[in-house]
Chains A and B, each alone.
Chain A
Amino acid sequence: MKSLQQVSFPADFPTGATYDPARGRRHRARIREIKGLLLSAPFWVGFLLLGFLPMVASLYLSLCHYSVLTAPIFRGLGNYIDMWSDPGMLRATRNTLVYAVLSIPIGLILGLALAILLNQKVKLLTIWRTLFYLPAVLPATSAAVLWRWMLNKDYGILNAVLVTFGLPRINWLSDERWLIAAYVFFGLWGIGAGMIVNLAGLQSIPTDLYDAAEVDGAGRVQKLRAVTLPMMSPVIFYNLIVSISTVLQSFAFFFALTQTMGANVTYTETGVVYMVYLYRVAFELFRMGYASSMAWTLFFAILGLTLLLWHTAKSWVFHEAEWVSGR
């Protein structure tokens, strides 16, 4: 078959203006571009309508007073300043931070420890993994109903245990300190999710590293310190970042646990966390501008923490670049 270049046109061949192979190529490229944009529309249309535009709107609203009924009134950084003297906001922030500071480190350590235990060529791994992951698959509202029973002052299991040991009953749901302690227990109850990621990480550590350590006479503890922890540091780092963002943004369980839903909503202040208070500000008090500023504050707090940790990660996370590009 003759290639295109070898075809010789007669001098009087009616080729239109000029024969331009680049034009056809450009045409095909444009078609390809349109096809790509059409097929990827479910992403970028959704991003524009439900991601980008709401973000811009939210940024603007956060600088306004807006109660839905009247047009937004611009007030600059007023909302961001009001936060610092809003007792509800301060209380919610304090509760959330206490919960985060207590539950994240313990959760990370226990999640890793559990994964290490399950990685010891344990028999029936699937069953163990299912048992420990089970609490993490429960729907948030179901978990909240279960926890309301457990925390009940009169007939809950936690108080039953306390009474058996001769200790006084605790009013878990109305004593804020104990309620936050219960939050921490709940957080630890859900370490299954972190465990699964850890387990996958442990299974991908090359076994020859352990063999080499064994040849050098390393025991269990030394292998843990010299091989497991450094190799797992990217996974630990990843779990840390993920748990910070999920803990600070947690809503459904805490809302269903502390608030009555449905027709008659009465706001319960005890044990309120950041997102529950944000919900109240936005959808019960209809202070949409203030709620938006709270949302952005939380976003910047999470972003700031993440960047800070990213910065310190260089000193303790092993081969971070490899992990990131390897995924």
Chain B
Amino acid sequence: MGEWAIVILPRGISQQRIDRARKIAWRVALYLLLAAGAALFLMPVVWLLLISLKSGAEARAWPPTLFPKQLMWQNYANLFRGFALGTGWGCGLPRWLLNTAIIGVIAEAGGLLANSLVAFSFARLRWRLREPLFILTLATMFLPGQVTMVPTYLLFSQAFHWNNTWFPQLVPAMFATASAVFLLRQYMLGIPVEIDESARLDGCGDLALYWRVILPMCKPALGAVAIFLFSAIWNDMFTPLLYIRKCELWNVAMGVGVGRSLNTAFVAAIPPILLFVIFQKRYIQGIVVSGVKG
């Protein structure tokens, strides 16, 4: 390409200007490539968003129209209509949102507490079984989920009779998981030991040190863990599928899977997207450190 540029450019042009032209050409090609890729990725989504604003007949019409003749915002408003009338608490998006919110809040509270306590005992206390237990924690990352699936179901469903309850979603969330513990422990190790020492001189016991000193300093890592816990609850279709027959107890993911409504599917996609957009930096650190997708 360099040769070719020299031939067509007027004589006396400096090598520097050729280099600059090549650089600009490369940048233009780069942005064109990225834009084409992004369009390919997002075109289907945009097209479907437009469909979600069409009337039922127009959405299924052939040949398909690109823009709706009339924007049917009521497609989305209708999802919440039962809510406005006070009758929507049976089955439907408002109820599923409420269910997911309740499950999510409990799971977040319990999960954050559990994971940070374990991380604290691994990072800030000195005890002999600490190292072996930490290695065991890491080893559970390789614990095959599909292998524990059947006995866990038998335990929850047949032994505990937790069918049509939220316990199968809530109880496992109350225990620490390897990636969250790892992320929090790494963060806690970065806090200087002098802080512990001065806190202990001020009369802090272990729990006070954890609650008043270490935990407030771990907010960024706790944020990343909170995002993972939320995604796990929000995206979980498998647990309701196994245990919950009553549609008024479903979470949003399950409701979307059964109802297959485009509008509900888009509403269900908003919170994860917002979380990613807002907390992008923390989110990515979480993915990179723990290797877990949100």
Contact = CB atoms under 8 A, between A and B. Distances in A.
Interface of A: 29, 32-33, 35-37, 39-40, 42-47, 50-51, 53-55, 57-58, 61, 68, 114, 117-118, 120, 122, 126, 128-142, 144-146, 148-150, 154-155, 157, 160, 163, 189, 193, 196-197, 200, 238, 242, 246, 249, 251-252, 255-256, 261-263, 275, 278, 282-283, 288, 291-292, 295-296, 298-299, 302, 327
A40 B133 contact: yes
| Interface-central residue, A40, A46, A148, A154, by most chain B CB under 10 Å | A40
Contact of A261 (B37, B175, B241): B241
Given A43-B133, A299-B147, 9 more contacts: A44-B133, A54-B147, A140-B253, A160-B64, A249-B145, A255-B257, A256-B237, A282-B150, A298-B146
B276 interface: yes
Contact of B293 (A35, A193, A252, A299): A193
A283 to B, nearest CB: 6
B86 interface: no
A275 B117 CA distance: 34
B127 A149 contact: no
Contacts of B149: 282, 295
A45 B172 CA distance: 11
A163 B47 CA distance: 17
Contact of A139 (B136, B176, B206, B234): B234
Nearest 10 CB-CB pairs, A to B? Answer: A46-B175, A36-B127, A42-B114, A39-B121, A54-B151, A141-B257, A145-B265, A54-B148, A57-B151, A262-B258
B146 A295 contact: yes
| Interface-central residue, B125, B151, B289, by most chain A CB under 10 Å | B151
B118 to A, nearest CB: 4
Interface of B: 30-31, 33-34, 37-38, 41-45, 47-48, 51, 59-64, 113-115, 117-118, 120-122, 125-130, 133, 136-137, 140, 143-155, 158, 172, 174-176, 181, 206, 210, 234-235, 237-238, 241-242, 245, 247, 252-254, 256-258, 260-262, 264-266, 268-269, 272-273, 275-277, 280, 284, 287-289, 291, 293-294
| Dominant secondary structure of chain A at its interface with chain B | helix
A129 B118 CA distance: 33
A141 B150 contact: no
